[in-house]
Structure 1
């Protein structure tokens, strides 16, 4: 049993934790609420390590980047941009084909969303120049990336001792995070049990159509649009690669609900796939911040649901503009749970929807977030690996049909 806990497949353990949480909540509501502490501790640990993980990984990768190494950063970033825009466009088309409405009677949260695209761009710029300590403390991933890239570029000219120190820090923080990840099954057990015990699934019934449209768009993006993008780049069957990413990365991201927290899983998956470390050490942390296809879908679908509810006519030009705005806004969404919801009022402002009404839509988003945010994160995080692989491979390169086993944290220390 101990060997299974320490060395067993993480996905299998997560599924066991999920089923156990559902059973416990069904048997005893009080017991389900009690084990919620396990979930709180796990989520707290993820929130604590994710910002420093992103900072050290990006900084160390750039610091130790060799000039003769030709990392495939450009193709991967272009795939990130294309995928996020197509996700927003897909959501627009789906919302026109299957219009949904929502009951805007939920009390608005006391939050302060951006009021327009200009303010979003201003906020992103201010996040870039944020104090590094403040950025780490508040999980400002855009600011963290900016400081990590700047320091990494400068430290490329540092002594070999400094570069070795950065490499050792990278190994150390990765081992710490992998250790935290090993407790994911217990954390998910606590999260699922307490969530079902507290709210059940009855609350979600009233928003079934909205959830179906959101998750349906994400499934189409994962199984149709993303494979098409990969096929057009590599000219071969993309589905072995797609299913590998969904299985090895998407499942864990679904339960963690944080792209940033899933970075160690993605890095390990890239290693097992035999990708160039110089590439994925940079593109995976960047993707967790800016590659947000799921967020683009959420922003677009929720906004158009409000538009349909209010009976506002939308022409194609405005819908296309919404796709662009949603893609830009998604890139500025936080890499943590619920990060995309506060950008809905900004998109809604394109249609003249006032802030109070838009905040009711945000509140609905928090209600359905149990499933919506999990599916969104699974799409976002698995796509990071998918596009990193697609950008690294060349036409005709064979995919690894059988991945080597996961590394155990102690091996990294050795």
Structure 2
């Protein structure tokens, strides 16, 4: 019996925690009338402490995790100097598609309004960033004191400081091996700490869900369903409208031919929920489409590191969900800050399951939103993580195809099915 429990994945445990928290919250809301047991013992102590401790553990991770990840991520792309034009084009397309993804998510959630009706304004104290002009928003990105920004969790200056350090480490690679190694080891430590903290996620999610629905009842269910709908709609638009459109505009190739041959990779990404594990299959399938391995061996691993369009869509919907749930009106400058932060966060998001929830803290903090809402949506994130991973790897492949075409490294006869590439001509990754 114990072995069966050990085989249940963390994502499924979080889902179980969400469902149990929802049920317990409803029971407290409708059937438990004793205020001492309901309010004092459970809601104000057990559930409050359990949920708050978990949220604080996640907030504890954000600054060091993001800072180390961004430094390591930027420093690791020093090969751009060798690949030249290909590297610049690749990064430009990756950042463009991520910006489009987060913008689409904000628009969808702004129209559907998934957070309305949740009425959580009295359940947490927001610390909304003061509205400021576009000029001030840009100026304040540059840190006056980077150490102070790190200590206070002011994420935009932290990101910029991390990017600058990463660029310098990439430029001075031979002279800064020790410092580079330090950040790599720091990143490894923070990823391991993230894994440890996430083991407590089922308990934290249970407490947060029970506390929330003990006060809201069934009326809190519809906003969650609308949030799921927003994310899935955004992912579908990104995968089947944005990507094909960019592909047609930049290459004039038929996207239907691409999807027919790439669908197996999307299913694998969906089932594994990790971009990194999909790298070998992604490269192999692109080789079968006529993409040069010289291009894909650079663009696909890079995409698994910095191209997180699906994650950006989730973060955009989550920001609007939280703002609407807490009755916070995000201004134009705040939304632009969200777009910029989410794009930069994609550089520091590792291609492993659910790590986007940790960097979501960073996006929330950039505009002062309460992070309590993350615990509410965390229970359903495992399912959404599967869909957004499929979108992430599709974006990597589409970008690779475009870069390969524009650098004349794509065999058009192979892509169009006029010629089959021989199996022995494919340099299988890892063999």
Which band: TM-score by shorter chain?
0.5 to 0.7
Q: Answer whether contact 1:88 1:323 (CA < 8 A) is retained.
A: yes
Residue in structure 2 matching 1:270, options 286, 291, 311:
286
Residue in structure 2 matching 1:339, options 355, 378, 385:
355
Residue equivalent to 1:150: none
Q: Answer whether contact 1:114 1:345 (CA < 8 A) is retained.
A: no
Residue equivalent to 2:52: none
Residue equivalent to 2:339: 323
Q: Answer whether contact 1:290 1:330 (CA < 8 A) is retained.
A: yes
Residue equivalent to 1:392: 404
Q: CA, structure 1 residues 290+339, in 2 after alignment: closer, same or farther (shift >3 Å)?
A: same
Once residues 427 and 155 of structure 2 are traced to their aligned partners in structure 1, the CA distance between those partners, rounded to angstroms, is 48
Count of residue pairs the alignment pairs up: 302
Residue equivalent to 2:184: 135
Residue in structure 2 matching 1:237, options 235, 243, 254:
254
Tell me, yes or no, if structure 1 residue 383 matches structure 2 residue 395. Answer: yes
Once residues 38 and 302 of structure 1 are traced to their aligned partners in structure 2, the CA distance between those partners, rounded to angstroms, is 21
Aligned-partner SS, 2:392: helix
Alpha-carbon offset, residue 218 of structure 1: 0.7
Deviations 1:96-136 (A, max 9, x none): 111111576999xxxx9954211233455667866537726
Output aligned runs, 1:243-262, within 5 Å. Answer: 243-245=260-262, 247-262=263-278
Unaligned runs of 5+ in 1: 1-28, 41-50, 143-194
Tell me, yes or no, if structure 1 residue 367 matches structure 2 residue 379. Answer: yes
Alpha-carbon offset, residue 38 of structure 1: 13
Deviations 1:30-49 (A, max 9, x none): 88536448999xxxxxxxxx
Deviations 1:225-259 (A, max 9, x none): 111111110124323224433x1322111121111
Deviations 1:325-381 (A, max 9, x none): 22122222222112221222332234432xxx31x2222343112211111211111
Deviations 1:165-197 (A, max 9, x none): xxxxxxxxxxxxxxxxxxxxxxxxxxxxxx9xx
Greater shift in the superposed pair: 126-135 or 305-314: 126-135
Q: CA, structure 1 residues 366+280, in 2 after alignment: closer, same or farther (shift >3 Å)?
A: same
Residue in structure 1 matching 2:230, options 203, 206, 213:
213
Once residues 412 and 225 of structure 1 are traced to their aligned partners in structure 2, the CA distance between those partners, rounded to angstroms, is 29
Aligned-partner SS, 1:261: helix
Once residues 37 and 366 of structure 1 are traced to their aligned partners in structure 2, the CA distance between those partners, rounded to angstroms, is 15
Alpha-carbon offset, residue 323 of structure 1: 1.8
Residue equivalent to 1:118: 157
Residue equivalent to 1:82: 96
Output aligned runs, 1:278-317, within 5 Å. Answer: 278-317=294-333
Q: CA, structure 1 residues 338+330, in 2 after alignment: closer, same or farther (shift >3 Å)?
A: same
Alpha-carbon offset, residue 71 of structure 1: 7.5
Name which one, 1 or 2, has greater alpha-carbon Rg.
2
Residue equivalent to 1:48: none
Q: Answer whether contact 1:114 1:343 (CA < 8 A) is retained.
A: no
Alpha-carbon offset, residue 322 of structure 1: 2.2
Once residues 371 and 410 of structure 1 are traced to their aligned partners in structure 2, the CA distance between those partners, rounded to angstroms, is 34
State the TM-score, normalizing by the size of structure 2.
0.58
Aligned-partner SS, 2:415: coil
Q: Answer whether contact 1:140 1:334 (CA < 8 A) is retained.
A: no
Aligned-partner SS, 1:338: coil
Tell me, yes or no, if structure 1 residue 93 matches structure 2 residue 107. Answer: yes
Q: CA, structure 1 residues 77+229, in 2 after alignment: closer, same or farther (shift >3 Å)?
A: same
Q: Answer whether contact 1:141 1:289 (CA < 8 A) is retained.
A: no
Q: Answer whether contact 1:88 1:324 (CA < 8 A) is retained.
A: no
Q: CA, structure 1 residues 315+278, in 2 after alignment: closer, same or farther (shift >3 Å)?
A: same
Alpha-carbon offset, residue 383 of structure 1: 1.2
Q: CA, structure 1 residues 410+98, in 2 after alignment: closer, same or farther (shift >3 Å)?
A: closer
Residue equivalent to 1:162: none
Alpha-carbon offset, residue 269 of structure 1: 1.6
Q: CA, structure 1 residues 96+340, in 2 after alignment: closer, same or farther (shift >3 Å)?
A: same
Once residues 91 and 412 of structure 1 are traced to their aligned partners in structure 2, the CA distance between those partners, rounded to angstroms, is 34
Q: Answer whether contact 2:283 2:429 (CA < 8 A) is retained.
A: no
